[in-house]
Structures are given as C-alpha cells and as structure tokens.
Structure 1
Amino acid sequence: MKLKLLLTVFVTLFGILAHSQEQDSTKKVNLAAIPFVNYSKTLGTTFGAMTQGFYKVNRNDTVSPSSSSGLMGLYTTNKSYFFAAFQRLYLNEDRWRILAAVGFGNFNYQYLQDLPLLGGTFIDFGTGAKFAFTRVERQIYKELYGGVSGVISKTVTDFDLPDFVPDSIKADKRSMNNLGLILNYDKREHQMNPYGGYNIEIKDEFYREWLNSGNNFEKLELTYNHYYMLKNERNILATRMKAIVATGDVPFQGQSVVGHDDIRGYSNGKYRDNQVYAVQAEYRWRFYKKFGMVGFAGVASAVKQFGDIFSSEVLPGAGVGLRYLMIEKERINIGIDVAKGKDDWGLYFRIGESFGR
C-alpha cells in the first residue's frame, strides 16, 4: 500500500514536471526545484526538496562543464532530518574542480549486533552531525587530476541499549575530521550523465588525533566507472566497481554500510564493516522523447578484512527505475528506482544518474 501511494505521488510529480520544466538555453542560470519522496524499512517515508542552479562562471569558457549551487532538505517519518548547501565549480577551462558543502542533521538508524542470549538483533541508534566539506582538484596532465579534500565533522551517536548498559557506552561523542589525497583519471565525455568513456578515482582519507579526530585510522576508496554507448545515446550501459577499505583503529562511525548506489536494495543497516566491495551494471534506455527507464543489478560484500571476502555472504541487489530528462542541455535526469536486496528493499528518488555523484 505504501509503495503504491508513493508511486502515485511520483507519477503525479512526473506529469507536472513534464509540462512545466522546459529548458531555456538563453538563461544565464538554469534552475531545477524538485520535491521528492523516498521509502525504506528503517527511515520510513522521506519527504524532501532540492533546488539546484546550473551556470557558467565564465560564459566565454566553452571547455568547463557547468558549475552548480544547491540546497536540499529532508524529513522522515522516523523523525530523522537533514539539511545541506553545496557548491560545485569548474574553472579555467576545466583546469580546476572545486566541491564544497556544509550541513547538519540527525538520522535514526539501526545495525545488527550479536548479543549474549539474544543472538543477532537490531540495535537502534541515532547520529546527529554537523559537517563542512571541501575538495579541490587541479589538472595535472590532460585527463589526469590530483587534489586534496578535507572534512570537519562533529557527531553524537546514541545507542538504544538496555538499562543495565552503562551510559558511557550508550552515547558516543566524537569528531570525525580528516584530510584526503585524490587522484582521478577522467575520460568521461560528460560530468553529470556520460554517454561514453570512463573514470578511475583513488581517494585516501586520513583520520588522526592531531586533526582532533577521535581515532587514528584511514579509509581508502577505489572507484572505476565505465560507460558504453549501445547503438545511440538513448541506449547506455554503465558499469561500476567500488572498494572501500578502512584500516587502523576504525570506530563504529568509520565503518561502511552496504546500500545507496552501492548497492541499491539495502536500507536496514544490517550489513556494515570496515571494508565494502561492490560491482554492478545499469542499462539506461530513453524510450520516448525525454522519458526513460533503467534496469540494474549487482553484488556486494561487507567484511572485516580482505581475506574474509571469499567466505563472506554475497549480497545481491537488483531493480528498475523511471527517468525524465528535466534539463536537456545539462543532461539532468530526475527519477525513481525501486530495488530488492536480500531480505530488504528500498525506494529511491534521485536527481542525476547513479555512479555520477
């Protein structure tokens, strides 16, 4: 019933946008303002809105992709909330790429824990956070970019544990500040929605006590996206491989969770650990004017260390989605995906395609 209601709401929004959001190539700023509705077993129904403006910092710069500024906010029926402002800049004929964001929120979530006598059981927790993030990349040679990133974040995590558990364990306050190094080889022919090419990115984030981070550990992320045009630009195959490896004194907040774009279909927080590996593919078909659909499938694994991957549980996920090309010049799609994982599922409203954020 909930799924039917949410799909009805989305189709109604789809119809409104299809008649009202036409691209005007003469505008200096192209604006997209979109409400969205999501659903997951943990967060419940999510109500939110996002507005994003696309523009050229220098209108004489024909090489740089369009820069953008945006705001987003959401609230869920389990009383989670989130608000963020973000800025993405492409400068000096795409020699410089800058991304910055600030935000705050509180998510009421859960994770699976093995407890004496009780066995495996879900533990509810809420994490409140305030953060500021920046990422700066410079072109090194042709399609090769290098850069740095930084995060300042303060979190408070409250665990819903029995009364006999000490209060010092029920609440965890910490800073999650980090500095990162980035290397990105980018052969995509478009930043937001590629029809061809590939990019390989390596990012290494360092959490250290001298950065006022509560633990000494690091998190390495390796991402490989490849895009293939089949017949024409209306038929695209996108593939993705992602590895997230955290080593050292990794806290609960530093672990990774199976879900989101890697892999859709997991929303209950059951599968999390220091390392997550995922591979998936997505077929994108624009079947009528600005309307399209996607189908996707993949597998993931969450493990303590790489040696466990061959004996770990394989986590499949698959689903389908609808798309509408909202801003044709920028190739900005809006859409909704429904995905099924192992004993879980999720409904995802999205602005922009997967593998591109």
Structure 2
Amino acid sequence: MVNNSNALLNIIFKYVLIILLLLFSVPETYAKTENDSTKKVKIAAIPIINYNASQGALIGALGQAFYKLNAQDTISPSSSTGLFGIYTTNSTFFTALFQNLYWNEDKWRAKVAAGFGQMNFQYWQQLPINDGAFVDFSTDATFALARIERKVFKQLYFGVEGTLSKAETGFDLPDFVPDSIRYDSRNMNNIGILLNYDLRDHQMNPYSGFNVSFKNLIYKTWLNSGNDFNKIELVYNHYYQIKNERNIIVSRFKTSIASGDVPFQGQSVVGQDDIRGYTAGKYRNNQIYALQAEYRWRFYKKWGMVGFAGLASAVESASDLFSTSLLPGAGVGLRYMMIPSERINVGFDVAAGKDDWGLYFRIGESFGR
C-alpha cells in the first residue's frame, strides 16, 4: 500500500511540475496580444497534459479565439470559436469544434458544436460476490449540437436545443455473453427547451451575481433516437465577492435527472466539474445530484489559485437519495489570467474523491460552460 501511494505521489508530482513549467512559459507568448489595442481577436491556447488511473496519460491542445460580432455593441459578451483535441495512452481520442455567439446587445445567444472520437473507459458492475468489478467498454461517438436563446423578460432567456448523436459501444465481456449484450449501436438524438435567468456580471468568469438554468431534453423514436426517455438538468450558480474581485466564493448545485427507457449511454457519471476528483467512472446512474463550493483567490497580479469541495450522489431515483452514501470531492488549482480584458484564466486543478483522483487542464473557470 505504501509503495502504491508513493508511486501515485510521484506521478502527481511529475505532472504538476510539467504543468507549472508550461504555465510559466506559455502566458508570455500571448502577452503581446493582450497589450496590442489594435487586436480585434484575442487568442487563448494551452497544451493539455493530464493523467488519471482509468485512461492513463492524456495529451492534447485547447484553443479559443474571442471577438466582438459588433465593435459598437458594448453590452454583449465576446463571441468565441474554439477547437480542442486529446489522445490518451489507452487509445482514447476526441476532437471537437465549438462556436459561441452573442449579439444585439445580448438579446440573442447561440451555440453550435460538433465532434467525434473514441472513448475507452469503464463502468462498475455490481456482483453478488466481491461487491463488484469494473467492466471495460469502448464507444465510437459522433455528435452535432445547436442551441439558440432569446431574452424574453429582463435577464430571462428562453431557448431551444437539439443534438444529433450516434454511439457504437462494445463491452469487454466473456465470449459466452450474447452479442446483443456485448455490442450496442444506437442514436441519441434529442430536442428540448431551456430557460436561463442570468444575473452574472460576466459569462466566462463572473465576480458577482447568479444564474439559474433549466433544460428539458426529450429522446424519442420519432427523432430517430434509440430510446424514449426524458432528461432534465437544473443548475444554480451564485458568485459572492469578498472585499474585492480578487476574492470570490462560488456555490453551485446541479442535478441531472433521466427517466423513462434510459439506456446506458443516457446515464450520467459523477466527474468533471460535478464533482472533480472522480475519473474512474464507477459512479453512474439515471440521476446525479451535486452540491459544491469554490474559493477563488488572485494573490499576485495575474496569478491566482482556487480551492474547492463538494458532495455528489448517483442514484436510480430520488427516493434512493437518503439510502445511498454521499461522494465527497475536494482539491486545489492554479490559475493565470491570460487575457485580462476578457477575464480569461488558464490553469489546472488536482482533486481527490472517494478512492479516486484526477488532474484537469482548463481555459476559463469551472461552472462557466
């Protein structure tokens, strides 16, 4: 056990050292972009070097360009175009292109995205003996998403969203298991509505305010989706400024509730921003609930750090909430404000969960996507 702990600490130390070197060397490349007032397009780009026990080492790159659709529009946030790609040592790869648009004094918002890749991952299968075991699976996926929102009353936005998605999944099960169980191919097309009450003072990196968003997506056979089910997402973020903009506390609640004929691909997994520290894919179910808080401290010029902690739960239905164990997660991160005029931070987080941990590179803050 001691040897395993030492090996884990050595891995974390090496990756954090590499990340620190990159953060200290990369930002100066973009300082000229920020100081040059003639630049109408500002670019943030960062290499990605992560590690988790499930997928191994991860390398990639993430870049995003920020600009105004109308230079005279001082109310709309900056629009952006982004591209990212990753590859891991277990042969997982994914690439995606995304576009965020804001125009007409922030009365209209839109987002489009498309991507493809292969995810080699695992899930936890409960067994009558030895509690359970991880089962490997591989999913080839493609998707295209479109969303448009319109301000309808004060800061309340109404929108529609739709996704075309196809997933082909193979499970690493014994040969005697029927192919109908070992292999699965289905469309995950959806359409739905969303409401967003947005009183944040900034889209990418708020210092104050709050927003509440509600999304209801339907997956139906008449949309050429493989299953008939419904998914609801509710998110509440609140930003508290302490003394000044260099000290911010953020609280967040998120729930994702799927009901009906929910397939494996329609379930949610505890991890990423809700909650960091879980990368093994052990905790997945039809419903996810997560509550957390984060402290953001810009301690020196453009440099900052964050500390965060929270609790999550993965259950089949809300009635199971009080009979299942809670999943804690906590960690710290380093930030560098690459583009001050856009409040664009780059950095990384390291977090630990229940028998799990992870490293996370990012452009922009958590809870802002």
Q: TM-score, normalised by structure 1?
A: 0.98
Higher mean displacement: 187-196 or 107-116:
107-116
- Pairing of 1:1-357 with structure 2 (within 5 A): 1-22=10-31, 23=34, 24-115=36-127, 119-357=131-369
Residue aligned with 2:180, SS:
helix
Unaligned runs of 5+ in 1: none
Contact kept? 1:30, 1:54, Cα under 8 Å: yes
What is the aligned-residue RMSD (CA, Å)?
A: 0.9
Question: What is the number of residues matched between the two proteins?
Answer: 357
Cα deviations across residues 276-328 of structure 1 (Å, max 9, x unaligned)? 00000000000000000000000000000001001111100000000000111
Residue aligned with 2:323, SS:
coil
Contact kept? 2:238, 2:250, Cα under 8 Å: yes
Residue aligned with 2:341, SS:
coil
Q: CA deviation at 1:116?
A: 5.3
Letter in 1 for 2:11: K
Residue aligned with 2:169, SS:
strand
Higher mean displacement: 96-105 or 37-46:
37-46
Name the CA distance, whole Å, in 2 between partners of 1:25 and 1:159. Answer: 54
Name the CA distance, whole Å, in 1 between partners of 2:350 and 2:358. Answer: 6
Unaligned runs of 5+ in 2: 1-9
Contact kept? 1:237, 1:282, Cα under 8 Å: yes
Q: CA deviation at 1:19?
A: 2.4
Name the CA distance, whole Å, in 1 between partners of 2:108 and 2:131. Answer: 52
Letter in 2 for 1:178: N
Q: CA deviation at 1:43?
A: 1.2
Q: CA deviation at 1:163?
A: 1.2
Runs of 4+ in 1 over 3 A off after TM superposition: 115-119
Q: CA deviation at 1:141?
A: 1.1
Contact kept? 1:17, 1:326, Cα under 8 Å: no
Name the CA distance, whole Å, in 2 between partners of 1:116 and 1:310. Answer: 23
Q: Which residue of 1 aligns with 2:4?
A: none
Name the CA distance, whole Å, in 2 between partners of 1:333 and 1:274. Answer: 33
